[in-house]
Amino acid sequence: MRFLDRFRRRRQPPSGEIARERLRLVLAHDRANISPGLLDTLKDEIIAVISRHVPIDPEGVRVTFTEGPRESRLVADIPIQTGRRRRG
Amino acid sequence: MAGRVLTITSGKGGVGKTTATANLGVALATRGQRVVVVDADIGLRNLDVMMGLENRIVYDLVDVVEERCRLRQALVRDKRLSELYLLPAAQTRDKTAVGPEDMVRICEELRASFDFLVVDSPAGIEQGFRNAIAPADEVLIITNPEVAAVRDADRVIGLIEAEEKGPARLIINRIKPEMVRRGDMMETAAVVELLAVELIGLIPEDEAVITAANTGRPVALSDNSLAGRAFHNIARRLLGEDVPFVPLREAGFFERLLRFVRTEGEER
Ligand SMILES: Nc1ncnc2c1ncn2[C@@H]1O[C@H](COP(=O)(O)OP(=O)(O)OP(=O)(O)O)[C@@H](O)[C@H]1O
Ligand SMILES: [Mg+2]
């Protein structure tokens, strides 16, 4: 068991590294005032608006937020259901 | 020349604002600066006990604002150094007893007689914090290398920028080199990078800070502790010296012996 524990611990990054990674995300969301919950709301509304005009695959929609050194962006990835795909 | 107003703030409570205010006051005064430390934490005053001056207080900041005394009368002189004074906060009032414009007015008056005003901010981002940053020329953010403290520091840095009091500079306090070495505490470089601000000081976790708080003798009064020396390095940087950020370490046996011999000699 000890042996397994040690093995497992090695695969997990040290806690200082985990802290830094968590902070990177938290600060990005704080700074833009965009919470993970808001991203879900945005996603639902985007699905509603787009699907009124274009057939899309709601399951495949992804709305993400990224922060770079110069700019932050919201990226919506919306897979469209094409006629071809439906046939295949 | 008019004095510089430095406000020390953090967002999160208990990260070392009062400790830093007391020690920077001492370190700057040791270097011949005329210094007043101002306790803006109204209702929870601590700076007086950190500096061991609690028995000498007659009037406080709220007495000055409400004109029960003159500003000069409220200043408590620290007899250990030639030009170090404390303007205490009121203990039995709350933050609403003072407004940002009062702080600006009082600091404006103090500027004429001092080189440095170091303002100890309360935790949080409400009125007490607003009061503390209103008179600031420069803001020093203090944090610990932990997730919650860094997150709050980031929030405060944003507010400081919005108030056009920036750019704030950063002190990282309570660093445990041993934990950093084994990866269980964030590297200072990581914290600086996350917060994207200029670093002005690194203070190690040091038991001497706690014994200093017990006795009311700030660590910066002597150079026997790592934390005390770290505060002196910040003071030197504030005075424009280019002091490299070398990791602080305990003095070796010979250094201690040398220092012992030297101080013994001085005292005789
Ligand atoms: N470098 C250090 N090493 C060891 N202990 C420390 C260090 N810095 C601060 N402390 C301890 O941490 C505690 C909190 O410090 P301090 O009162 O300065 O924080 P604060 O930010 O002013 O708190 P508050 O938000 O309540 O005003 C104190 O007991 C102090 O002695
Ligand atoms: Mg305090």
Q: Which residues pair with B6 in a beta bridge?
A: B118, B138
Q: At residue B129, what are phi and psi to the nearest 5 degrees?
A: -65, -45
Contact (Cβ atoms closer than 8 angstroms) between residue A70 and residue A64: no
Q: Please tell me what DSSP assigns to residue B244.
A: -
Calpha distance A3→B27 (Å, rounded) = 51
- Whether B250 has a pLDDT exceeding 90, the answer reads no
**How confident is the model over A4-60, as pLDDT tens digits?**
555 555 678 999 999 999 999 899 889 888 888 899 999 999 999 999 999 999 999
Calpha distance B226→B15 (Å, rounded) = 18
pLDDT at B266: 47
Residues having CB within 6 Å of any atom of ligand 1: B 10, 13-19, 41, 46, 122-123, 173-174, 203, 205-206, 209-210, 213, 227
Calpha distance A1→A7 (Å, rounded) = 10
Three-class SS state of B248 = coil
Number of neighbouring beta carbons within 10 Å of residue B140? 25
Domains within chain B, CATH numbers bracketed? 4-262 (3.40.50.300)
pLDDT at B233: 97
pLDDT at B93: 85
pLDDT at B94: 80
Q: In a mutagenesis test of the A interface, which of B151, B160, B181 is the best target, namely the one with the most A β-carbons within 10 Å? A: B151
Calpha distance B110→B103 (Å, rounded) = 10
- Kindly state the tokens that stand for A20: 């830094």
pLDDT at A11: 73
ipTM of the complex: 0.83
- Kindly state the tokens that stand for B253: 């046996």
CA-based nearest residue to B90, from B64, B69, B108, B110: B64
pTM > 0.90: yes or no: no
Work out how many CB contacts closer than 8 A connect A with B: 41
pLDDT at A15: 96
pLDDT at B267: 41
What residues have CB less than 8 Å from B201, skipping those under 6 apart? B170, B171, B172, B230, B231, B233, B234, B237
pLDDT at B31: 97
Average pLDDT over residues B79-107: 94
**How confident is the model over B19-42, as pLDDT tens digits?**
999 999 999 999 999 999 999 999
Select from A13, A16, A27 the Cβ nearest to the Cβ of B185: A16
pLDDT at B53: 98
Residues in chain A with CB shorter than 8 Å from the CB of B186 are: 16, 19-20, 23
- How close, in Å, is residue A3 to chain B by CA atoms? 20
State the ligand closest to the CA atom of B50: 1
Residues in chain B with CB shorter than 8 Å from the CB of A30 are: 151, 154-155
- Kindly state the tokens that stand for B173: 């306090």
- Whether B54 has a pLDDT exceeding 90, the answer reads yes
pLDDT at A1: 53
pLDDT at B255: 67
Q: Are B147 and A26 a contacting pair at CB < 8 A?
A: yes
- Whether B264 has a pLDDT exceeding 70, the answer reads no
Contact (Cβ atoms closer than 8 angstroms) between residue A8 and residue A17: no
- Kindly state the tokens that stand for B6: 């430095």
Average pLDDT score, chain B: 94
Terminal alpha carbon distance of chain B: 39
**How confident is the model over B112-149, as pLDDT tens digits?**
999 999 999 999 999 999 999 999 999 999 999 999 99
Q: Are A24 and B184 a contacting pair at CB < 8 A?
A: no
- Whether B100 has a pLDDT exceeding 90, the answer reads yes
State the ligand closest to the CA atom of B202: 1
Residue type (1 letter), A41: T
Peptide bond into B167 cis (omega under 30): yes
Calpha distance B10→B12 (Å, rounded) = 5
Contact (Cβ atoms closer than 8 angstroms) between residue B6 and residue B138: yes
Q: Which residues pair with B141 in a beta bridge?
A: B9, B170
Average pLDDT over residues B203-211: 98
Residues 18-77 of A with CB under 8 A from B: 19-20, 22-24, 26-27, 30-31
A68-77, B13-22, B43-52, B89-98: range with lowest mean pLDDT: A68-77
pLDDT at A34: 86
